[in-house]
Amino acid sequence: MSTALILAGHGSHISPNTAGLVWTLVDQLRAMNVADEVTAAFWKEMPSFHTVFDSLSATDITIVPLFTAQGYFTQTVIPAEMGLTGAITMRDEKTIRYARTLSEHPYLAQMVRQRVENALKNIPQELTAVAVIGHSTRRNPESRKATEAQAEAIRALGLVDEVVAVYLDDSPAIAEVYAMTTAPHIIAVPYFLAAGSHTMIDVPRELGFDPLPSEQDLADGTSRHINGREVIYTQPVGIGDDLRDAILELAREAGAPLKPPCEGSAWDCFPKGHYQVKKRKDGLGQRDLFLDWANRSKAGRPAIWGQLWITGDDVRHFEDRGVDSTRRIDTPAELRRMIRENPFRPLATSDDLPRGWHVPVGAIPIHAIFETVYPGVFAHFLSRLAHIQHGTW
């Protein structure tokens, strides 16, 4: 039996941080070697919920939805896109487990409480209100319940007299917090995982922040005077060192046969489905095709794939072939920052791949480099390679 772990997130067309948090967790889990394959899947980025299984070879797959609420995406979108029939789906001789959401784990409640208590260190409790700000959606009444539960948990602690829940896409709206509370200080806790477009743009704009806060503002603690109140805006609840452990607990609770953690590399445990599929009649499978294709580069015959130039020494942008002054990249996180974040490229296959870098091959598997640059695309590429080199399957 082989195992895989998929972290399912929303992704974004606006901010790299939304999926960036998920990829950071993927890197951490890969380096722990808790599963044979570890990857991510997204609604708005690559690989998609619908196609991610194509990149995996594992027979026991566990999906952990990284959402702050049990609602529209976790109950409707993900099951439909991934073909899930319940907590366990049996398909194509594979066991697919669907774990509970983060909202059902104590971690997020601990983070909301921590955000409130940290903010209260500098202001009087009796003059402070707390607003827990969720996303929610009118498409699913369940979506608001997680935010309401977090507000009720803070209310039960008795830290402040006024605690309200407000929403980005539901009622009461975020701006109504000023009518719902009277305290001169308001601690606004964004009940979102990442410092993405919602927490950096949409929520502060609805609160009346001008100018909008930066990531450093959130890290340092930021406040504004709005409508005669001091509004203390905290970091989102997914930024914390224990999130990875919460994910592993949810996966194990779902029955995932995870391995004991051991020290490895973030280049470990990449999807292997690219070259572990059925063989042709002549005995050649995609793995053989990949090795044959990759070995051409090692033998001194460079290859081009997408905008990548592959030689026996390194992988780089094809327009940087022969350029000596490129930056050496040693980790998937470095490579992602280089090619994805500045500027943000939500579509990994767009033809504007940044230049100026190279990744040495040898200890780093070539397919892991490809998967980092073009997430989820390599399986399709090798399928096409099989058709081109050996006819149809």
pLDDT at 115: 96
Residue 97 sits in the same domain as residue 136: no
Which residues make Cβ contacts (< 8 Å) with residue 220, sequence separation at least 6? none
Per-residue pLDDT of the chain (393 residues; tens, 9 = 90+): 999 999 999 999 999 999 999 999 999 999 999 999 999 999 999 999 999 999 999 999 999 999 998 888 999 999 999 999 999 999 999 999 999 999 899 999 999 999 999 999 999 999 999 999 999 988 888 889 999 999 999 999 999 999 999 999 999 999 999 999 999 999 999 999 999 999 999 999 999 999 999 988 888 889 999 999 999 999 999 988 789 999 999 999 999 999 999 999 999 999 987 555 444 444 444 555 565 666 665 566 788 889 999 988 999 999 999 999 999 999 999 999 999 998 999 999 999 999 999 999 988 988 899 999 999 987 666 656 655 555 443
Q: Is residue 260 in some structural domain?
A: no
> Which pLDDT score, from 0 to 100, does residue 300 have?
63
Residues 30 and 86 in one domain: yes
Whether 119 and 222 map to the same domain: the answer is yes
Do 110 and 226 fall within a single domain? yes
Q: Of 219, 253, 287, which one is at a domain's C-terminal end?
A: 253
Q: Is 258 a domain residue?
A: no
The token duo for 87 is 């907590």
Q: Answer whether 76's CB lies under 8 Å from 19's CB.
A: no
Rg (C-alpha) for the chain, rounded Å, is: 23
User: Which domain CATH number covers 334?
Assistant: 3.30.1360.190
Structural domain contains residue 322: yes
pLDDT digits (tens, 9 = 90+) for 291-306: 566 666 556 678 888 9
Same domain? For 10 and 84 the reply is: yes
Report the pLDDT value the prediction gives residue 283, as an integer from 0 to 100.
47
Length of the chain: 393
Q: How many structural domains compose the chain?
A: 3
pLDDT of residue 297: 58
Task: Give the pair of three-digit tokens for residue 234.
Answer: 């905290």
Give me the DSSP letters along 257-301: -PPPP----TTSS---GGG-SPPPTTS--HHHHHHHHHHHHHTT-
123: in domain = yes
The 3-state DSSP class for residue 19 equals helix
Shared-domain flag, residues 336 and 386: yes
27 lies in the same domain as 65: yes
Same domain, 342 and 372: yes
CATH of the domain at 212: 3.40.50.1400
Same domain, residue pair 91 and 150: no
According to DSSP, the β-strands at 327-328 and 357-360 are parallel
State which of 203, 233, 263 marks the end of a domain. 233
**Residue 228 belongs to some domain of the structure:** yes
Q: Residue 351 CB: number of other CB atoms within 10 A?
A: 7
- Do 312 and 377 sit in the same domain of this protein? yes
Q: Is residue 266 part of a domain?
A: no
Does 38 map to a domain? yes
Residue 343 lies in a domain: yes
> Do residue 284 and residue 367 come from a single domain?
yes
Domain boundaries, position 339: 274-390
DSSP H helices in 58-190:
72, 78-82, 106-120, 145-157, 177-180
Q: Are residues 94 and 123 in the same domain?
A: no
